[in-house]
Structures are given as C-alpha cells and as structure tokens.
Structure 1
Amino acid sequence: MNGKTVKIIFFLTFFLGVKNSFATNTFLTREFLCDSCNKDLNLRFESSSFFKNNEYESDFATGFTGIGVMFKPTLEYYFNKSTKLNFGAFGLKYSGLDGLSQLVPIYQIHHKVTNGFELVFGSLYGNLNHYLAEPLYRFDRYYLDNVEYGVQILNYSEFIDSDLWLNWEQFILEGDPFQEEFTLGNHSKIKFLNKKRYQVAGDCQLLIYHKGGEIDSYNGPAFSLFNGSYGFDFSLKSQYLSYSIRPKILVYKSLGLPDEGENYKHYKNGNGFLFSGDIEHDYFYFESGYWSGNKFVSSSGEYLYMSIAESDLDFHQDNRQLFFTKFRLKRHMSNNLKLELRMNLYVDLRNDVLPDYSFGVYFIANELFFLKKDK
C-alpha cells in the first residue's frame, strides 16, 4: 500500500468518523419556532468558513478562488411561542483583504399565524434555503450575495411545502440615479404520494426579477425577467440510502429588455430541460445529470447553463448541452456543527473545451446559547 493510498484512507476515516445527521442541505438556516419558548432571550451564533475554487475553462462562466468566513451573531427573543425577534449583524471576511467585505445589520421578525403558516419580515431565510435548481440559482451566491431582505411566507403541511418571498434588493428615493430592484420567488412542492419508503411530488419554482421605478432619474427602461421550473421528484428510501430522479422543464421570458447597455441580454425568450438523479447516504451525496438549454437566461442562475456569458455581453450560443456530476462528503457532528467537501464536474457537450470543475470545503456552525428568561 503506497503513501498516497494511506493518506486517502486516513482522510476518509477522519471525515466520516462520527455519526452524521441526515440532511441534504448542509446550509439550511431556516428554524422552526420553539413551542416551549416564552420570554426567552438567547444568543445565536451562525458562521460559515469556506474555501471555494472554480476552475472554469469555458467562455460562459468566470473562474473564482476564495477563502473566507461569514458570521452572523444575533440576539434572539421570544415574545411568545408564536413570535420571535432576531437582531444582530452579518459580516463577510475574505482572506487576503484587509477589513470586512460586507457588514449588514440583521433584523428579523418571525411569526406563526397558525399551524403550517408563518410570516417572516426583514432578513429572510434566503439563498440556499429556497432549494432552487442550479440553472435558476447559482451556488456561489451563498457567499457573494447571502443576505436577503423583504417579506417571506412559509407554508408547510403533510402534502405541500411552499416558500414565497419578496427580496427587495435596491430601494430608491426620489431623484436617485439608479433603479429599484427586487426578486419575487416561489418554490412549492406538492406531495402526490408521501409514504415512508417512497414519495412522488410535483416541483414548481418561480423567479421574477424586476428593475425599474417611477421616481428615479435613471435614463433607461424598466424591464423584468421571468424564470420558471416545472417537474417531478421521484424518491425512494432504503435503510441507508435515498434515491431520487428529478426531471424538470425550465422557461425564460423577458419584458422590456433594452437593446444595448449594461442590462442588455442577447436573448429575450428561451427554455431548457434538466434531468438528474442522485443517491444520498448519511456520509456522502452523489448526483449526475444532463442539461439541454435553448437561448436560456436566468437572473440568478449558474452561467454554465446559460446561452450568454458572465463577463462578455456579446458572447452567446443558442444551444447549450452539459453533462454534470456532483459529489459531496459530509461530516455532521451535530445539527449545529457540519463539515462538507464538495466537488462538481461540468462537461460541455457542444464545444471542444476542457471540462469545468469546482471544489470547496465548508465548515458550518449554528449554535444557540440561552441567556435568560423574563418573568
């Protein structure tokens, strides 16, 4: 046995050497309200240390290498079991840069109207909590644009899970030289069959991005981008593994896009087909799939799937075809402490280029510290 093999075995033993909690989304921060909490004051500390490297050879997406940490300390107060307040700050620090790249105040009110129906005002359970398909939502927005502010409606029951949100990205005052921006989104999963061992669900995802306004002084048209994804999730669970197949049809439509300038898009309408299958274990996740896009553009998606380029407005290709594979190793020490290694490979089936690939390591902490209880 050579030294390289020994190192690999040692790494896997370390990485998988603890009991995992089964969770597809390591980055989930959405919290259910505590039914036994009333007048409780807590300190919640969330952090994500990351190393991400994108080695992209194609002309559609730009490479990236970043090491950094995101942190979000907040005071959490329960007025009663149905309403809690979080108040604090979000910070982003990249290694190699002096100071913070972002420092954003955090204010959130989370209220349960009734069982299965909740309202969130202020800082949303955003980004990867929305569970959007990668052509609609780029994973890198997790650290590039983490904080979302607006209004969110969460609805969950035995047969439906729905996340409806309005992310207000740019507020304007009268005379401002820029336009207002917001994204309206919804992800709903309708469970047609919901058994212990298998599930069949309809999956609907929607994003509407709007840039405009009536009181600004910006000299340019208002426009909107519409993206939708419609498909099914077929899932089967065994004692140790979960298997899923996820076919989806995606659409892209626009309204009022300018013919030139920074907001120019070469395509006004398009569509795509996404087919993927995955296997998940407590310790690993493997996914493989196929993408076929025709003039597809997304306001927040991964550029590898699009027909336009990230950094060149004039570069475009009508038809895009990709084969992709994703692999993750998971070490979840608890529900509040998680370590994950991710590796993605994208093969362009229509262009003679080397495969694009990325890898990253993420250490996630989300701990709650009880401070006091008011009488």
Structure 2
Amino acid sequence: MKTFFLKSRRRLLLFVLLFMTGSSLSAVVYAQISERVFKTDYRIDPEKKGELSIDVDNLSFFKDNEFSSYYIKGYSLPGLWLQTKAVYYPLDIIKVEAGVHMLRFWGANRYPNVAYQDIATWKGDQYQKGLHVLPFFRAQVALSEHVNIVLGDIYGGANHNLIEPLYFPELNLTADPEMGLQFLYNSRFFDLDTWLNWESFIFKDDTHQEAFSFGVSTRVKFNDPESCFHFYLPVQGTGQHRGGELIEIHSVATLLNGAAGIGALWNTGHPVFKNVNLEFDAAGYTQQSGSLLPFDSGYGLYARASADIYDFRIKTSYWKCHEFVSLFGFPSYGALSTKYEGFVFEDPTSFYIGLEYSREFAKGFSMGLDLDVYQQSAGTMRVIANGDTFPIKSYTDISVGIYLRINPSFLIKRF
C-alpha cells in the first residue's frame, strides 16, 4: 500500500509539471536552459572599475525524476541555492567577490556536513541545521581580452560545456560551488577552460582521504559560429584523485574520463526553423591507479542532434558503451548500477529525447523548463561477485524540471 501511494504521488508531481510546461507554450521563449539559466557570465566589465555592489544570485528549482530502470532510483529535488556576496572591482581587470553559498531542500532541516556533488550521504551527527552553508570567495584577473585566471570559487558546472556523458546537468542544482584554480581562454577560433576543484582538504593524522577533481574543455572552431555552416572540434577530459601524503591510507585512486568529437551547426537564417546541430563523440574511461571501481578501462560512443524551432529546442541522442564509468555524468551513461550495488551492465545502449525552452525576462532574470525521456534498451546484467548474468528488459525513465534564476545587483558605492 505504501509503495502504491509513493508511486501515485510521483505520478501526480509529474502530471503537474507536464501541465505547467504545456500551459506555458504560448509565452515568448528561448532555447538553451544551460546558456540562459545555469551558466554564469565570467567576463569582467572594465566600466565597473571602482564599483562596490551587493549581488544576490538565486536558482530555485523543482525537478521530478521518474526512474524505473536498473541504473538509478527515482527521486525529487524541490529547493533552491542562494549566493549573497559583495563584489568589488579595484581595477578594470580585477574582480573580487566574497559572501556565502546556501543550499536548501524543502522539507529538510538537517544537512550532512560533507562536500556535495549530488544528493549527499548522511553522516550521523555531522550535520548543519536549516541550510547547507559554505563561505564563498572568488578573485579573478583578466590578463587580456582573451585570458582570465580565477582563484577560489571558480566558474563550474554548465560553464565547462561538457557533454552529458561526462557531466550531468542536474549537478547545477545540487553540487557545491567548485573551489580551486581555473584558467580561461577565449578567442575567435579556440576556447579553453582548464580547472582544479579541491573537494577535500586533509590535515596531519586526518581520518579521511584528500580528494580533488580536475578537467579541461576545449573547442576548436574552424570558422565563424555565425556562419551558415559552422564546424567545430570539442576535446574534453575530467578526472578525480583520492589519496594524500599526510595520512596513512591503504589505497590511492585516480579516475579519468575523456571525450573527443566533431560537430556541425547549420544556421538556417529562418525566423522559425533557426538551426540544426549534430555532434559525434568518442568517450573513454580509465582507472589509472587503485581498485575503487570494477573496471580498469572502457569506452563509449555518443551521437546527439538538436533543432531550434520557433525558439524551442528539441534534442535527441544515442549512447552505447563498454565498461565505461562516468565520473560526473548521469548513471545511464555508464556500465555501473547505482541502484543495485555490485551489479554491472554488459555493453548497455540507451536513447534519449528531450524538449526544453527558457525565457529571459531581463538581464539576470530567467526561467527554464525541460522534459527528458531516457529509453534504456534490453540487455544483460552481471553480478560482480560471482559472474552470474541475467537478461533485463527495456525501461523508460522520465524527468521534468522547472528552474528560475534571479540575479539582481545593487550598487553600493563607486570609489
């Protein structure tokens, strides 16, 4: 009976969100939730030299994941994150930000006191009350029109422009701000983002491992992105290291993901049927050291297509892999089950189709809605412990979300 009511509740939430999505179609909308809602503009405006302001950056969200496959359990994410910070431009090439980052899930009063990536694991009596709170500090210098160096809280998440097998967009809602070092380069024909995110610092005789992640995201642009036919070459990589020299540990783990591909964008110039984007990527995984995961290496093939029609975006993709593990991606882009510990998939295949739109009300104020459908193909599942295999049928996972980004800035004084 309890299971019946839980499933009924989820179906009701899904219906409500679908209804809200459908009822909004008459609005003037724009595509690309990642661009308009999740990303943060990193450019320094020289005209703001000497300005001191207070920025309030908020992302409120409600996401319902109706997952029934063998990969991951279903769940809902009702909540928000809020950054309140003072922003100062001492020079026309330097920006300094200091404040707090807060995460709140509706209905949660205690939060595990750990680094958050997705939904955090409960840690007994190590918790914060009311909110998950972190200090926020960012120091940035623009060495030239094309080069930026960032220390402290870097521009992470959607700003890295990683493909979905390498980074799950939902982490823009739940993950802590990335903290460390970042180098950004942007030009007409080449973009580069390389970063180090320090997730866990250790002291002498500490009881946990040091952990940090790192990555690089590049794009070679063969011609002007506004051309009728634009061609580009994305090369990306992420990694995570767990270890530390200051503590006695039994294992060190270094895990790597990488991807390279080719993409084409057709800008039609038509006011309704605006563009079509095609991209093909080959992805790889390797466990450089340690035995944290059951696979030492693996690979995957990813093909995606999207079309912007009257400011809506329709998306679809195909994925097939062999012993691939995604460090930060959606679990269905991999061969490990997070739903059933100790189970893996043999050469899994999945299809995806999605619909999204976003609306920008003014600078710093935007809203997005999306619908994602993942079709997991029938295949074979294997038990790691004894090697037993058994067939599994195909499953459909559905996710619906609504997001509201509010980012006003209040000028305090100009020095």
So what's the TM-score if we normalise by structure 2?
A: 0.83
Counterpart in the other structure of 1:170 = 200
| Partner secondary structure for residue 355 of structure 1 | strand
Give the alignment's Cα RMSD to 1 decimal: 2.0
Please show how residues 117-128 of structure 1 align to structure 2 within 5 Å. Answer: 117-128=147-158
Q: Is 1:321 aligned to 2:349, yes or no?
A: yes
**Does residue 228 of the first structure (1) align with residue 267 of the second (2)?**
no
Give the Cα separation in 2 of the matches to 1:355 and 1:24: 24
Kept in 2, the 8 Å contact 1:16–1:283? The answer is no
What letter is aligned with 1:209? Q
2:220 paired residue number:
190
Aligned to 1:37: 48
Q: Identify which range, 59-68 or 199-208, moves more after superposition.
A: 59-68
Is the contact between residue 15 and residue 330 of structure 1 (CA under 8 Å) also seen in structure 2?
A: no
Q: CA deviation at 1:21?
A: 8.4
Whole-Å separation in 2 of the counterparts to 1:156 and 1:331: 26
Deviation at 1:16, TM superposition (A): 4.6
Q: SS at the partner of 2:207?
A: coil
Q: Secondary structure at the match of 2:159?
A: helix
Q: Quote the residue 1:100 is aligned against.
A: 130
Aligned-pair distance for 1:225? Answer: 0.6
Are 1:357 and 2:401 an aligned pair? no
Partner in structure 1 of residue 293 of structure 2: 265
Match of 1:301 among 318, 329, 335: 329
Contact 1:20–1:334 at 8 Å: present in 2 too?
A: no
Give the counterpart letter for 1:365 in structure 2. Answer: I
Once the two structures are superposed, the pairs formed by residues 1-375 of structure 1 within 5 Å of their partners are 14=24, 16-18=26-28, 20=30, 25=35, 26-98=37-109, 99-194=129-224, 195-217=226-248, 219-239=249-269, 240=271, 241-258=274-291, 264-281=292-309, 283-351=311-379, 352-374=393-415
Which runs of 5 or more structure 2 residues have no equivalent in the other structure? 1-17, 110-128, 380-392
Provide the C-alpha distance between the structure 1 equivalents of 2:138 and 2:307, rounded to a whole number of angstroms: 35
Offset of 1:56 from its aligned partner?
A: 1.1
Partners of 2:154 and 2:320 lie apart in 1 by: 32
Cα deviation, 1:34-92, whole Å, max 9, x if unaligned, reads 12121101111110110011111111122211210111111100011100101111111
Q: What is the identity, as a one-letter code, of the residue corresponding to 2:396? A: P
How far 1:244 sits from its partner (Å)?
0.4
Distance 1:311 1:34 in 2: 46
Check 1:147–1:190 CA distance in 2 against 1; reply closer, same or farther (3 A cut).
same
The answer to whether the 8 A contact 2:377-2:395 is kept is no
Q: Which amino acid aligns with 1:162?
A: L
User: May I ask how many residue pairs the two structures share in their alignment?
Assistant: 361
Q: Normalising by structure 1, report the TM-score.
A: 0.91
Identity %: 24
Task: Give the whole-Å Cα distance in 1 for the aligned partners of 2:361 and 2:310.
Answer: 11
Kept in 2: contact 1:91–1:103 (CA 8 A): yes
In 2, distance between residues paired with 1:44 and 1:144?
Answer: 21
